[in-house]
Structure 1
Amino acid sequence: MEELAIMNRIDQSFKEKKDILNIYFTAGYPHLDDTVRIAKALEEAGADMLEIGMPFSDPVADGPTIQDSSQKALENGMTIATLFEQLKNLRNHISIPVLLMGYVNPILQFGIERFCDQCAEVGVDGVIIPDLPMQEYLDFCQVYFKEKDIHNIFLISPNTSEDRIHLIDQESGGFIYVVSSSSITGAKKGVQEGQLDYYQRIQSMNLKNPQLIGFGISDKETFDTACTYANGAIIGSAFIKQLNEDSSEEAIKKFVKGIKG
């Protein structure tokens, strides 16, 4: 029991669960004060992990659906400082792992050490920063992440070399974010040609870190397929579209049930 008490929640989740459903949503969307409400609704609905997006004006890895939500959140007044203020009582409501996803410029402007301190203070377990170069992370950031036991999650794609995948596996913790295709985020129907070969290749590498598949996971079919080859999957754009239509707790519960069955 003592080991579990000090284990990062992400590591604990992978130790205890399989077929993990990680759901992304943008902080401050649809409304500025929706962040914790949506997080609570997702946990109650059965999500295993949460990925909260920090809106940025130039989200290069994101498709139009998440870009639109990011722009709206910025217009609503969302900032990193505002997000941390919203999350200060997070662990009074949420027990599952929580990650922040965003881009390096706003984090550097906020201050990397201050950012890690705030993550630890509110109970954030990991971060995903798609445009943070590996060497910059190792040289300037890793010390702060490790000090606060915050996992920095790296992304790989079909174009990532095996050498780099092994380096990422060696230098990171939590899980590896397996980008399903060489494209921006966005909900796609079904499994695209060549994806299964890619999933099988990663599976056969026997990496030490678990893997979650993201980009294009949109429904039960694509989620179940991802879980065949990895430890679970990440859904983003499809959930943002759900929030566009109906962000009520009942609708969120129905969405999650539709994915997990």
Structure 2
Amino acid sequence: MAGVTDAFKNKNGKAFIPFITSGYPSLDITEQLVYAMADAGADLIELGIPFSDPTAEGPVIQEANTKALEGGVTTDKIFEMVKRIRKNCDIPMVFMTYANVVFHYGTEKFVKISKEIGMQGLILPDVPFEEKEEFSTYTRKYGIDLISLIAPTSHDRIRTIAKDADGFVYCVSSLGVTGTRSKITTDIGAMVKLVKEAKDIPCAVGFGISNPQTAADMAKKSDGAIVGSAIIKIITKYGNDCVPKVREFVKEMADAVHSA
């Protein structure tokens, strides 16, 4: 099965990475969305495991988290969904959630099951570099990638973070929480350069990307674009009828990234 870095090995070496919240609006729709996004050209999919206090998220994804939890989504139900997905689809996938979710489940148990069901990575936006070892001990033991995040303010630390990074480096485009923005002013090229000086590892940009033009711009300066809030907005608007609309949007975004 393909791994995280394989997502960046397509014809132009650029990956389009969509994010969705598992269980929003239902786990059945989440499963259908994975197939639709893979079919539309996504290279890697981030599956969010909902949490009651998602500190890195803006209002759009926060609301999706709340609705998914209210609908009775649990980590075990998400694991079962991934098992079903893996019978039909081998697109690289990573979980994005928060330290408390993993702690509560049992860190080693969570990572071991994630590997067994076919997940390739884990993103924990609330875990600083200095505290990652309590998770990376297990991700490395079981062979899944713990994805590191770098922010515009972490210049002095970027090389340190990059040297120890696995899979790809998640470049946070702007300070604050996730959400769509009219434009991104951070010098992404400088961030990517610092990473590449430390380690030959792909860099994908997230936070604030909402249209094909911005996605292409970010992909020109890095190795890929990550989009979450713009997709969740479509899901919110169309509910159970969202799958074809998300497929259409993902195809536009993936085409833009792959032609960057």
TM over 0.5: yes
Does structure 1 residue 243 correspond to structure 2 residue 232? no
* Matching residue of 2:159: 166
Q: Give 1:200's match in structure 2, choosing from 172, 189, 204.
A: 189
* Matching residue of 2:181: 188
Hey, what's the Cα distance between the residues in 1 that align with 2:9 and 2:40? 21
Instruction: Number of aligned residue pairs: give it.
Output: 249
Aligned residue for 2:122, secondary structure, equals strand
Deviations 1:9-50 (A, max 9, x none): 112222345221100000000124322111111111111110
* Matching residue of 1:142: 136
Hey, what's the Cα distance between the residues in 1 that align with 2:95 and 2:3? 14
Aligned residue for 1:186, secondary structure, equals coil
Alignment check: 8 A CA contact 1:88 1:121 kept: no
Aligned residue for 2:45, secondary structure, equals strand
* Amino acid aligned to 2:49: M
Residue 128 of structure 1 and its aligned partner are, at CA, apart by 0.4
Does structure 1 residue 127 correspond to structure 2 residue 122? yes
Hey, what's the Cα distance between the residues in 1 that align with 2:19 and 2:118? 17
* Matching residue of 1:57: 52
Query: Quick check: 166-175 or 210-219, which moved more?
Result: 166-175
Alignment check: 8 A CA contact 1:90 1:123 kept: no
* Matching residue of 1:44: 39
Hey, what's the Cα distance between the residues in 2 that align with 1:260 and 1:89? 25
Structure-2-length-normalised TM-score? 0.91
* Matching residue of 1:210: 202
Q: Give 1:231's match in structure 2, choosing from 208, 223, 235.
A: 223
Matches of residues 12-51 of structure 1 in structure 2 within 5 Å?
A: 12-17=6-11, 18-51=13-46
Alignment check: 8 A CA contact 1:45 1:252 kept: no
* Matching residue of 1:253: 247
* Matching residue of 2:172: 179
Q: Which runs of 4+ in 1 moved over 3 A?
A: none
Hey, what's the Cα distance between the residues in 2 that align with 1:142 and 1:257? 33
Aligned residue for 1:100, secondary structure, equals strand
Gaps of 5+ in 1: none
* Amino acid aligned to 1:49: L
Q: Give 2:108's match in structure 1, choosing from 113, 118, 121.
A: 113
Alignment check: 8 A CA contact 1:52 1:98 kept: yes
Residue 258 of structure 1 and its aligned partner are, at CA, apart by 2.4
When the two chains are superposed, the root-mean-square deviation of aligned CA atoms in Å is 1.5
Alignment check: 8 A CA contact 1:214 1:234 kept: yes
Deviations 1:202-230 (A, max 9, x none): 23322421100000011101100101110
Aligned residue for 1:117, secondary structure, equals helix
